Amino acid sequence: MVKGLGIDPGTMSFDIAVVENDRVVWEKSISTIEVAKNPSVLVKGVEEAGKVDVIAGPSGYGTPVVWNEDIIDPRVFATKILLLTDEEDIRRGVERGEFGMGVYDALTKVVVELWRRKLPVCYIPSVILLPTVPSYRKINKLDMGTADKMAIAVLAVYDQASRLGLNYGETSFILVEMGFGYNAVMAVKKGKIIDSLGGTLVPTGFLTVGPLDAELAVAGKMWERSDVFYGGVSTICRTLNVEEAVRKYVEEIEPFKSAFESMFESLEKSVRSLLVSLPNPKEIIISGRLTRIRDIRKEIERRLGKIAPVVKIKGLKGAKISKEAAQGYAIVAEGLGGGYFRKLIEHMEILKAKGTVMSWVHHPRLMKAKEELREAYRKSVKSEKQKIFDIT
């Protein structure tokens, strides 16, 4: 039997889940701050899980499937490809005590450590790299859903299929993922992701501002990677305490009321925009840390219930502490290893992912960044793999 292990690099915690057949058989959650201080803690957690066949490593903004053995420079691969940043930007963010950059620091260290240990790790695609999303929907986009959001959609296809007694090709839903940092909305038709808006394309997450008016981007002059972690509910309300913020929203205290109303309405608008691509979803499936908070879930159900039945993702049997993304990562790992979920991974065309996350960008201001990303692949991945990063 194949065992797949998934690692989800969450804003609050790194979660590890091991899947065998259709259930979670081992799981662990480690504080992101603890991982950033000492990445060997996470590697030790992976080793505690016992022998596994495939590990789906924390994949950030995503890549066509790349295995540990294909990587020649793990630090460049982690910073410039998986995180679209550089070590100096991470260092500055960590020195300033920026919460989100702690995640980036932790992820980089983990990727390097997993490579040094020569473990059976693969890194997986984000939504924009999947061939199931038409190219015209990708134009001048990058974040159509990071690798963890894609992994949650994989779990959601299995969830709906098993719940409703459907084949993978019969599933149809819009997935709304509400994490501590980002929100995302994905459309799944016939068991394949066909359209999506990632965390920086859905306005007002808990941490992130989401998409910006281009006039505001120009006014800001110089931007850094860490800037994506500001401008959301937490910035407006000046707190990282979600429960406190929700309580004050319920009490209709400003600016908490306006901040959450902005987030809720933007999610509803995002879902409705995807109805152009998927007019009649069977369900709207919700997942993520914020949907576990009663008042948030209640409001989302009220708004989105007008569109289609709203259901909370159930997750795999045996899961008690691992988040949806970790379970999704583990499903991908197990399927890539040829196990129980092999047909699901084949159906969703994950191995057919191709290009870079900037392959569909056409603005002249971004041509240098586009080429630098391609150059990062040339520097960090073996030459025989290079063809999968090209778009013809």
| CATH class of the 3-389 domain in this structure | alpha beta
- Band the pLDDT of 72: cuts 50, 70, 90: very high
Alpha carbon 61 to chain centroid, angstroms? 7
Work out the mean pLDDT of the chain and round it to a whole number: 95
Is the pLDDT assigned to residue 392 strictly greater than 60?
A: no
How high is the pLDDT of residue 94? 81
The single residue listed with the structure tokens 């009663």 is 294
Q: What is the per-residue pLDDT for 38?
A: 86
Rounded to whole angstroms, the Cα distance separating 228 from 233 reads 13
Residues 6+ apart with CB under 8 A from 242: 180, 206, 289, 290, 293
pLDDT in tens, 88-110: 888 888 888 777 787 888 899 99
Distance CA 204, CA 235 (A): 10
Peptide bond into 203 cis (omega under 30): no
Q: Where are the domains of the chain?
A: 3-389
Residue 49: both structure tokens together: 């899980």
* 207-224: average pLDDT: 91
Q: What is the mean pLDDT of residues 162-168?
A: 98
Three-state helix/strand/coil letters over 25-79 = EEEEEEEHHHHHHCCHHHHHHHHHCCCCCEEECCCCCCCCCEEHHHECCHHHHHH
